[in-house]
Amino acid sequence: MGEVKKHETPLLDQLKSGPWPSFVDDIYNYAEKHKKQSGFDVLGQMELSYKEKETHWKHGGIVGVFGYGGGVIGRYSDQQDKFPSIWAFHTIRVNQPAAKWYHTSALRKLCDLWDHRGSGLVNFHGSTGDIILLGTVTEQLEYVFYDLTHQLKMDLGGSGSNLRTPECCMGMSRCEWACIDTQDIVYELTMQFQDELHRPAFPYKFKIKVSGCPNDCVAAIARADFSIIGIWRDDIKIDQEAVRAYVAGELKPNAGAHSDRDWGPFDIKKEVIDLCPTKCMYWDEREKKLYINNKECNRCMHCINVMPEALRPGDDRGAVILMGAKAPILEGAQLSTVIVPFIKIEPPYDNLKNLIYKVWDYWMENGKNRERVGEIIQRIGLNRFIVDVLGLKPIPQHVREPRSNPYIFWKEEEVEGGWTRDVAEFRKRHPA
Amino acid sequence: MSERPEKPDPIYTQPYDPTLAEKLYNPQKPMENRITDIGPPHYWQFLPPVIQRNYGKWKSHEIIQPGVLKYKAESGEVVYVVRCGTPRLETTDYIREICEIADKYCDGYVRWTTRNNIEFHVTDEEKLRALLEDLKSRKHPGGSYKFPIGGTGASVTNIVHTQGWIHCHTPAIDASGVVKSIMDELFEYFGSHKLPAQVRISLACCLNMCGAVHCSDIAVVGIHRKPPLVEDERLEKVCEIPLVIAACPLGAIKPATVEIGGEKRKTVRVNEDRCMFCGNCYTMCPAMPIADGQGDGLAIVVGGKVSNRITPPKFSKVVIPYIPNEPPRWPTAVKWIKKILETYSQYANKYERVGDWIERIGWERFFELTEIPFTWHLIDDYRLAYNTYRTSVHFKFTSHVEVMTDYEY
């Protein structure tokens, strides 16, 4: 390896101090140890951005690997004379294992690959979930892909107008509240839809996220066009002995989440009963017994979160399907909206897959260029989306409240006599 | 259920062969030897044996100290989890150091959370103590912790963030530097449980809002304040004009023709009065750059959440429309975030998220308590804005209200 050139970075150097892990220190140490010019150049260019307060990456960049239409984000420096080693600095998205569990044997091998063929910089992980290999040149892309598929049995993630990489919360691997097997669902859907993920065929991007319960630890309701959130239909399971232990102060509320401040002794009335959003709970002080009117419960998770030793989700489990979340561009930010209040989730998840195919069929045909699913729902109306597109029955759970304006569409077949009328007939009854 | 491989694929124990890809990939025959559509590695092979054994059979959990969780299975087995912050943007050497720790204490198993923290798993308390000591001792040369322990319970956990100036072409601010500056200032809240509820801070470097900004307790979003430049000479060559026009949420872009050197060129014109500087036209068209060192900066939004706990998920709302970029430490932004956090911490009830607290006390009280100036930029004027106005006489008198005694014009 030749000589490497370090740039002066007085502004970035100030980010070495302070307790939070310093990316500047990390990148410098790496670049020095591995004699990587790209590490020095990327910090050099960033220093320039810190001085000028403007990015120095050129617009766009279309690169990739044969057979796929996505997975690589092309990037070129606009300061190629100053920072030649990052003239191209492409990002490769690698599909992560569901819920991001790893064994070091796989991670170390991935590191060896990336030292050899890239900058050595990574993001663990991208917001959608992928492992991000940050920075390599165009010539290396095919070789990285060959290494990934042949030596690591890893594939690229998604980018562009396609199915993006699905992700989930940790689910059953470590959480007592998981109502569905989030990791298995994500793995199964990712495998089923490999073609849709690697070869963009959609009007725009489409994301799937799976959370095991309404705490929504992967933010499915905010960050996925198709949000799958685990819930139950029957009664919350109560261990009255454990409830009494909470009331007696033997167990820490919320598993100890508030331990560094004196909030006073646990008060079940104040902290659980009165905070229940549907007011469906009752603590009988004399009987020392907790009652839940489960018919009125909306499964917000609060009581379960506060008393994890005493309360558990019910046994009749499945998921609620919501659709349409997106960031502001273009028509404003949206959260996903309830489409299917309860769906049974059993392998091989055919009902789930069919529902996804149904949405795709319509959106692929009717979606405008760069129109997210949430925007097509807005454009045609949730009522038409539910009834005409998906063939589902409209129910009160679909809305927060019914419409307040009376601008109601009726279908001609709903109206007696239809819409074809003769004004002469009208005039017989009502001379002008 | 998909077929579960019990152990990590043996391929991972074979050393990386730096020459293999050159042997397999023939640029003359690119489709030869190509493997596609294999998807991610199966998750099951990377689960520690204790996790495999108790998968779906967990009974309860407890946070035994900030950053350390204890999970009990129905079988009676116990697993301790140590959560550590990471900068997300890191190097393979940093990953290797995580591997070294995972090999030493956790039989090589490790996971990342949905907020980019790392979690180490051990089954006995002695190992737990040794692991904690080890993690605390690891520092970068500049003094920062490599693996700060925390991020559990009512804390400020890791900041979900984006690329910024390290890799993106549309940012109005940096990501990694702003995050480091905020987390340094709020570090005590990462490793403690003293807030009314968990506080999710997020950052996006432009209003594409990659990540979680629109649904976080406190968030930073990069904004522009000048209309895009239009590069007439280049535009028709590099842009598809109808896409550019359709990219504008406010219909501020129209097609135009200009004459350059006696030649007619197709281009666009921006109605500057209608432009709110979102930058989406630049996303579609390289000939409409918008970045500007003086104009760009960040907005602060607050009160969003994704969980359904007590109240439904909420969007975050803009409370500070603009703070300038101040690299490398962004002191003004950091100061206001700390002010919002500490005001919330002082006044909110137990279990109240930032948004729940504000909805209880009213936005006028929020602005009074935090001393954030209220300006006309904060009043919505986009499409469904009317829903955000105050169509009731329910309000509190705060320092903002001046009694109108006469009105001249």
Task: Using CA coordinates, name the residue in chain B closest to A143.
Answer: B21
Nearest CA in chain A to B38: A155
Domain residue spans of chain B: 10-137, 175-225+293-388, 235-284
Question: Cβ contact (<8 Å) for A214 and B64?
Answer: no
Which residue in chain A is spatially nearest to B314 when comparing CA positions?
A: A335
What is the CATH class of B235-284?
alpha beta
Q: Which residues of chain B have pLDDT under 70?
A: none
The reply to whether residue B43 touches residue A187, judged by beta carbons under 8 angstroms, is yes
User: Which tens digit of pLDDT belongs to each residue from B355-365?
Assistant: 999 999 999 99
What is the per-residue pLDDT across A388-401, written as a single tens digit (0 to 9) for each? 999 999 999 999 99
Closest-CA distance of chain B to residue A286, Å:
26
Write the CATH number of the domain with boundaries B10-137. 3.30.70.3340
B43 vs A142: CB contact, 8 Å cut-off?
A: no
Search chain B and give the residue with CA nearest A170.
B113
Q: What is the pLDDT of residue B235?
A: 97
**Nearest partner of A210 among A256, A171, A236, A176, judged by Cα:** A171
Q: Do A302 and B34 touch (CB under 8 A)?
A: no
Looking at the partner chain, which of B15, B110, B196 has a beta carbon nearest the beta carbon of A102? Answer: B110
Min Cα–Cα distance to chain A from B365, Å: 22
What was the pLDDT predicted at B409? 84
Rounded CA separation B151/B130 (Å): 20
B307·A216 Cβ contact <8 A? yes
What is the predicted pLDDT for the residue at B308?
Answer: 98
Indicate the residue of B1, B12, B247 with minimum beta-carbon distance to A184.
Answer: B1
Chain A partners within 8 Å of B199 (Cβ)? none
Interface with A, mutate which of B74, B94, B245 (most A CBs under 10 A): B94
For residue A258, list chain B residues with Cβ-Cβ distance below 8 A. 153-154, 193-194, 196, 350
Same fold, B10-137 and B235-284: yes
How confident is the model at residue A2, as a pLDDT?
A: 64
Q: Which of B22, B148, B249 sits opposite A331 (nearest CB)?
A: B249
For residue B2, the model assigns a pLDDT of 80
Query: How many A/B residue pairs have CB atoms within 8 Å?
Result: 472
Q: Decide if A154 and B40 are in contact by the 8 Å CB cutoff.
A: yes
Smallest Cβ distance to B193: which of A154, A259, A347? A259
Nearest Cα of chain B lies from the Cα of A270 at a distance, in angstroms, of 10
Kindly list the residues from chain A whose CB atom is less than 8 angstroms away from the CB atom of residue B334: none
Residue of B nearest to A10 (CA): B328
Q: Do B90 and A123 touch (CB under 8 A)?
A: yes
Asked if the Cβ–Cβ distance from A54 to B96 is below 8 Å, we say no
- In three state form, how does the secondary structure of chain B look? CCCCCCCCCHHHHCCCCCCHHHHHCCCCCCCCCCCCCCCCCCHHHHCCHHHHHCCCCEEEEEEEECCEEEEEECCCCEEEEEEECCCCEEEHHHHHHHHHHHHHHHCCEEEECCCCCEEEEECCHHHHHHHHHHHHHCECCCCCECCCECCCCCCECCCECCCHHHCCCCCCCCCHHHHHHHHHHCHHHHCCCCCCCCECEEEECCCCCCCCHHHCCEEEEEECCCCCCCCHHHHHHHCCHHHHHHCCCCCCEEEEEEEECCEEEEEEEECCCCCCCCCHHHHHCCCCCCCCCCCCEEEEEECCECCCCCCCCECCEEEEEEEECCCCCCHHHHHHHHHHHHHHHHHCCCCCCHHHHHHHHCHHHHHHHHCCCCCHHHCCCCCHHHHHCCCCCCCCCCCCCCCCCCCCC
Whether residues A214 and B308 touch (CB distance < 8 A) is answered with yes
Cβ(B247)–Cβ(B279) below 8 Å: no
> Does B141 contact A89 at a Cβ distance shorter than 8 Å?
no
Q: Which residues of A touch B310 (CB under 8 A)?
A: 275-277, 300, 302
In A, which residues are within 8 Å of B246 by CB distance?
369-370
Report the gap between the CA of A363 and the closest CA in chain B (Å).
18
Residue of A104, A153, A275 for testing the chain B interface, max B β-carbons within 10 Å:
A104
Closest chain B residue by Cα to residue A147:
B21
Q: Across the interface, which of B71, B243, B247 has its CB nearest the CB of A174?
A: B71
Who among B142, B278, B308 is closest to A25 (CB)? B142
Structure tokens at A19: 């307790």
CATH of domain B175-225+293-388: 3.30.413.10
Contacts of A237 in chain B (CB under 8 A): none
The one-digit pLDDT tens for each residue of chain A (432 residues) are 568 999 999 999 999 999 999 999 999 999 999 999 999 999 999 999 999 999 999 998 899 999 999 999 999 999 999 999 999 999 999 999 999 999 999 999 999 999 999 999 999 999 999 999 999 999 999 999 999 999 999 999 999 999 999 999 999 999 999 999 999 999 999 999 999 999 999 999 999 999 999 999 999 999 999 999 999 999 999 999 999 999 999 999 999 999 999 999 999 999 999 999 999 999 999 999 999 999 999 999 999 999 999 999 999 999 999 999 999 999 899 999 999 999 999 999 999 999 999 999 999 999 999 999 999 999 999 999 999 999 999 999 999 999 999 999 999 999 999 999 999 999 999 999
- Residue of B11, B26, B37 to mutate for A, most A C-beta atoms under 10 A: B37
Q: Which residue segments constitute the domains of chain A, with CATH numbers given? A: 1-159 (3.30.70.2500), 237-312 (3.30.70.20)
pLDDT digits (tens, 9 = 90+) for B202-223: 999 999 999 889 999 999 999 9
**pLDDT tens digits, residue range B165-207?**
999 999 999 999 999 999 999 999 999 999 999 999 999 999 9
CB under 8 Å to A426, separation ≥6 — which residues?
none
What is this structure's pTM? 0.97
Query: Is B20 close to A151, i.e. CB distance below 8 A?
Result: yes
Pairwise CB contact (< 8 Å): B209 & A259? no
Residues of chain B neighbouring A55 (CB-CB closer than 8 A): 164-165, 168-171, 291
